[in-house]
Structure 1
Amino acid sequence: MSVRPNRSSSVRAVARVALLAASLTCAMGAVAADRVTGKPFATRSEVYAPQAMAATSHPLATQIALQTMRDGGSAMDAAIAANAALGLMEPTGNGIGGDLFAIVWDPKTKKLHGYNGSGRSPKALTLEEFERRGLKDIPPHGPLPVTVPGTVDAWFALHAKFGRRTMAQNLAPTIAYARNGHPVHEVIAYYWGRSVPVLSKWPGFKEQFTIDGRAPRRGETWRNPHLANTLQKIAEGGRDAFYKGEIARTIDTYFKANDGFLRFEDMAAHRGEWIDPVSTNYRGYDVWELPPNGQGIAALQILNLLEPYDLKSYGFGSPEHIHLFVEAKKLAFADRAASYADPDFYRTPTARLISKEYARERGKLISMDRAMKAAEPGIIPELNEGDTIYLTTADKDGMMVSLIQSNYRGMGSGMTPPGLGFIFQDRGEQFVLKRGHANSFAPGKRPFHTIIPAFVTKDGKPWLSYGVMGGAMQPQGHVQILLNMIDFGMNLQEAGDAPRIQHDGSTEPAGQNTAMTDGGEVDLETGYSIEAIRALMRKGHSVRFADGPYGGYQAIMVNPDGGYVGASESRKDGMAAGY
């Protein structure tokens, strides 16, 4: 299986990591320390602030979030305002044509709330239609992978429960930037340039997302007056202006004219839902994820499988650390491929999958000496009828928001209705065109989702709001951040900057659902020792170098001395900041 281009790094970002890695010695376990602090791995310091914090993948979005809270908004207002801005400023990863998931810590009730803002497939599109067209997989672009966008509905649902300012106030900064323009940042410009040749064939994309047929260059001013008009209608008319008004009628007309199946009725029927996050305890820390149709519980399964091992004594970057992580990932992803799907169509055995007992049973399959070539799911489904941005915010009252939003692959499907200024997601690509599978395509069904926010509590109190974007890397990244902090003693910034591991080649819950038979591939970011790599190869791992598939990280941690600690991904354009 080839590695898909990752939306969270670029040539420059890879160079940054290479420079960081150049400071590491080749001796296994020994690293050159930062010349000032003596800390390994960190590209910069953690950010501390006494009242509020925001961490996003774009500096202007971070500033918008902070200003929103300075002006009396909650962490939720700030998250919505920043998300709207990222849809304009980082369209390579998200926008109002995509879906959204969130976990919110409410200081009033002292509990976590989850929201599943994923949209469903068009009612008029059937599995038989794909079969009639002779397709084995859903195409990555064009009208067929399009599903109902859930982001706008999610904004309003989250705002109704946790917002303080009006939605018009929250959207105003983005509307102004869309009309007046903003300079395009470097990593975003890189991925925009990669998307234009692929997506320009689809109606409306070239007219609305290029400058004379090309992507905007680094530092060049970008304006999107069509998106400004769309957001203004939403600000004035609410969610129904998007799902039941003129915007939805334009969408209906566009897809009817372009071999698409999304209709006004699909838009009008959409509703996201509040869901309860689920958790496991890892060495005294309660790690929270959202249940399927997302992949968050894969991170919990991996943590349960790793907990019996003394990773701290093995050391970061040791062959044991990397090997155990990869083997645990293989087992969790076998269940992910078989059982993670829309709960309205298949009842994923979540409690069983994330239980310690199940982990003990599955953990017997891990050998310290040999890499698994194949991994079967531990639970056989019994069917019943029936690219991405991450951001986090925290306010002076203790509310914390963990939010992730995406158009999925790159800039999405390429389908760009005239005059609306946004691209539809291609999330439907994540269905399986295989009858009888838990994630098989069906009309009105939510696909398997890769985007997952995360949250950690300790002793019933908030500890960490974080995420790592990037397809199948996301649960792998969630686990690695926690290992780096809990087992290897890194601080919040070091935990994100440390070289990452990605295992690729597990059976996927999408596409042709082809089983892993060769053990897959282990991608190691620069910084792991040659001794460790040789030891992994002796265990039977296939190790390779890959530039980009390592995700994008943002995090806010509660400072035990008061206020917050922030960290941001060094492989992207963003920043953490507070006041």
Structure 2
Amino acid sequence: MGRRGMAATSHPTATLTAISILQAGGNAIDAAVAACAVQCVVEPGSTGIGGDCFVLLAAGGSDKVIAYDGSGRAPAAATLDWYLEHGFTEIPRQSAHAVTVPGSVEAWATLVKDHGRLPLAQLLEPAIALARDGYAVAPRVAADWAGQAALLAKDPHAARVFLPGGRAPLAGEVHHQRELAATLQAIAERGPDAFYEGEIAQDMVDRLRELGGLHTLEDFKEAKGGYVTPIKTSFRGHEVHECPPAGQGVIALMILNILSGFEPGDDPLSADRLHVEIEASRLAYSVRDAVLADPSQSKVPLDWLLSEELAAELRGKIDLKQAITELPSFSASAVEHADTVYISVVDGDGMAVSFINSVFNPYGAALVAPKSGVLLQNRGQGFVLKAGHPNAIAPRKRPLHTIIPGMMTRDGKVCLSFGVMGGHYQAMGHAHLVSKLVDYGLDLQSAISLPRVFPRPGQTAIEAEKTLPAAVKAELERRGFSFTAPAAAIGGGQAIAIDHERGVLLAGSDHRKDGCALGW
């Protein structure tokens, strides 16, 4: 709890960086960018400057939410016909074709220029020092690192940077990323052009072309995100805001629309309540896979997706006696709790920032540009290689994105900045968290820490954390669900609530990650 500023991230060094920036006179967007840059160094499997970001921002405590889409696009030469002619049925993860042009650096620079107080160069200083001088590897970071060692070893440049001595670093060992430090220094000195043009861009393009990619310097030079109109829905007197497609924020809102028609009951972990949440998520995700895409190139029926008519139709398919065996619409997609970092910051003037940055899967495509040290993401795997599908790959198109920042307002004021990491889980995670706060009055930390479940798309199989009560699990199995243990804890999460009446900020940070919340 605090009054003058608050930050919550998945890494303690990033949280401390954000607080330091606030205390140095920066505002919430300054602090979020500085914290994210640090996480691109100290949490390299989760995020990086070779990734993408999305941001929601509300200034002065108001409910006027601004959204920025910092996601990258496919190369201009990436036509569906090219992939089909070359025998692709899907886009391989560790390939140049999985790499879309990174959007993070451009987004950071634009948001700081438009809404920040401090120069980008000052905000990058902590990350540069950590990459150059070394940082101690945190426990969850070490665990994720070890899990990707075999994949990292397949790329000589990734192996050199991330497997020093031929293995993943252990918790407490010191790791350096000196090439990345030099790249961050160049961005600090020359701005985003240093990344998207010149020798750094050339290094990335050369490596991608060497691996068979279609990328050009022009693709990088023309990279640009943009402000977009947030979408929202009402949930029991609150307005919940999300970024629009190609992100999956609309799916979180759809789940909330379905849940709004059910009485919550007294127990957030009752079999009936989890049954409803699971089925609402399964139904919403089945629609997601059929229609979500880049709205600049495909028609995305937002009004229909957010309509009460659709919510009522889907709600009517939920039977508390048994699991749904046949979903109304589904296109298969992989279930992976991809790595991401989510950052929430609120400053003393009431600016709230909900900020998410990702390389998608842990260590992205597990490809590193050799001279610049940039780890490249694998967002291109979000595309479909199927003619006529809204999310089919196309030149300069953005893929379906799983990363989503969230924000909630009430009575003309922002009251919650929140995010839940975890790849495909994020939409369900947003709805789950909002429901636990609004329907059950839980505090932030308790709501974040509750056991999580996630239905595998198109199946009755449910991933469930081991803290789910055995009796509840048994009852849901009786209704036709089956359970499996996730490979790791499901996602992560941070949130900051603003108590305008008392002038207090309250925050929580997920025990599933290394991070913490701090304020003063």
Aligned ranges for residues 9-48 of structure 1 at < 5 Å?
Answer: 48=1
Pair 1:333-2:285 in alignment: yes
Do the aligned partners of 2:76 and 2:219 also contact (CA within 8 Å) in 1? Answer: yes
SS of 2:367's partner is coil
Q: CA deviation at 1:465?
A: 0.4
Following the alignment from structure 2 to structure 1, what is the Cα–Cα distance between the partners of residues 261 and 353?
31
Q: CA deviation at 1:549?
A: 5.0
Q: CA deviation at 1:441?
A: 1.2
Give the one of 412, 421, 434 matched to 1:469.
Answer: 421
Aligned ranges for residues 282-361 of structure 1 at < 5 Å?
Answer: 282-313=235-266, 315-361=267-313
Aligned twin of 1:31: none
Q: CA deviation at 1:310?
A: 1.0
Aligned twin of 1:571: 512
Aligned twin of 1:489: 441
Following the alignment from structure 2 to structure 1, what is the Cα–Cα distance between the partners of residues 464 and 508?
22
SS of 1:280's partner is strand
Pair 1:538-2:474 in alignment: no
In the alignment, residue 13 of structure 2 is paired with which amino acid?
L
Question: TM-score normalised to the size of structure 1?
Answer: 0.86
Following the alignment from structure 2 to structure 1, what is the Cα–Cα distance between the partners of residues 489 and 460?
15
Pair 1:185-2:138 in alignment: yes
| Partner deviation per Cα, 1:419-461 (whole Å, 9 max, x = no partner) | 2122110000111111100101112110000000000111121
Larger CA deviation: 523-532 vs 215-224 = 523-532
Pair 1:390-2:342 in alignment: yes
Aligned ranges for residues 428-467 of structure 1 at < 5 Å?
Answer: 428-467=380-419
Following the alignment from structure 2 to structure 1, what is the Cα–Cα distance between the partners of residues 63 and 255?
27
Following the alignment from structure 1 to structure 2, what is the Cα–Cα distance between the partners of residues 73 and 435?
48
Q: CA deviation at 1:295?
A: 0.4
Do the aligned partners of 1:103 and 1:401 also contact (CA within 8 Å) in 2? Answer: yes
Aligned twin of 2:460: 520
* CA spacing shift, 1:108–1:494, aligned 2, 3 Å: closer
Aligned twin of 2:491: 551
Pair 1:102-2:55 in alignment: yes
Following the alignment from structure 1 to structure 2, what is the Cα–Cα distance between the partners of residues 108 and 187?
34
Following the alignment from structure 2 to structure 1, what is the Cα–Cα distance between the partners of residues 207 and 478?
56
Do the aligned partners of 2:452 and 2:468 also contact (CA within 8 Å) in 1? Answer: no
* CA spacing shift, 1:219–1:269, aligned 2, 3 Å: same
In the alignment, residue 78 of structure 1 is paired with which amino acid?
A
Do the aligned partners of 1:502 and 1:549 also contact (CA within 8 Å) in 2? Answer: no
Pair 1:196-2:149 in alignment: yes
In the alignment, residue 188 of structure 2 is paired with which amino acid?
A
SS of 1:311's partner is coil
In the alignment, residue 487 of structure 1 is paired with which amino acid?
D
Aligned twin of 1:422: 374
Q: CA deviation at 1:109?
A: 6.6
SS of 2:232's partner is strand
Following the alignment from structure 2 to structure 1, what is the Cα–Cα distance between the partners of residues 236 and 343?
26
Where does structure 2 lack aligned partners over 5 or more consecutive residues? 331-338
Question: TM-score normalised to the size of structure 2?
Answer: 0.96
Aligned twin of 1:272: 225
Following the alignment from structure 1 to structure 2, what is the Cα–Cα distance between the partners of residues 322 and 76?
36
Do the aligned partners of 1:525 and 1:547 also contact (CA within 8 Å) in 2? Answer: no
Aligned twin of 2:95: 142
Q: CA deviation at 1:537?
A: 1.9
| RMSD of Structure 2 on Structure 1 (CA) | 1.6
Seq. identity, %: 40
Count of aligned positions: 512
In the alignment, residue 484 of structure 1 is paired with which amino acid?
K
Q: CA deviation at 1:203?
A: 4.1
Q: CA deviation at 1:230?
A: 0.3
Aligned twin of 2:323: 371
Do the aligned partners of 1:145 and 1:428 also contact (CA within 8 Å) in 2? Answer: yes
Pair 1:155-2:104 in alignment: no
In the alignment, residue 179 of structure 1 is paired with which amino acid?
R
Following the alignment from structure 2 to structure 1, what is the Cα–Cα distance between the partners of residues 484 and 154?
34
Aligned twin of 2:335: none
Aligned twin of 1:175: 128
Give the one of 430, 436, 455 matched to 1:503.
Answer: 455
In the alignment, residue 453 of structure 2 is paired with which amino acid?
I
Do the aligned partners of 1:75 and 1:400 also contact (CA within 8 Å) in 2? Answer: yes
Do the aligned partners of 1:210 and 1:216 also contact (CA within 8 Å) in 2? Answer: yes
Q: CA deviation at 1:52?
A: 0.3
Do the aligned partners of 2:104 and 2:357 also contact (CA within 8 Å) in 1? Answer: yes
Following the alignment from structure 2 to structure 1, what is the Cα–Cα distance between the partners of residues 161 and 264?
50
Following the alignment from structure 2 to structure 1, what is the Cα–Cα distance between the partners of residues 11 and 65?
26
SS of 2:518's partner is strand
Q: CA deviation at 1:75?
A: 0.4
Q: CA deviation at 1:299?
A: 0.8
| Partner deviation per Cα, 1:380-427 (whole Å, 9 max, x = no partner) | xxxxxxx21111111111101101110011101122111212211000
Q: CA deviation at 1:108?
A: 7.8
Do the aligned partners of 1:142 and 1:202 also contact (CA within 8 Å) in 2? Answer: no
Q: CA deviation at 1:353?
A: 0.8
Do the aligned partners of 2:294 and 2:398 also contact (CA within 8 Å) in 1? Answer: yes
In the alignment, residue 473 of structure 2 is paired with which amino acid?
I
Give the one of 49, 52, 76 matched to 1:123.
Answer: 76
Following the alignment from structure 2 to structure 1, what is the Cα–Cα distance between the partners of residues 469 and 212?
52
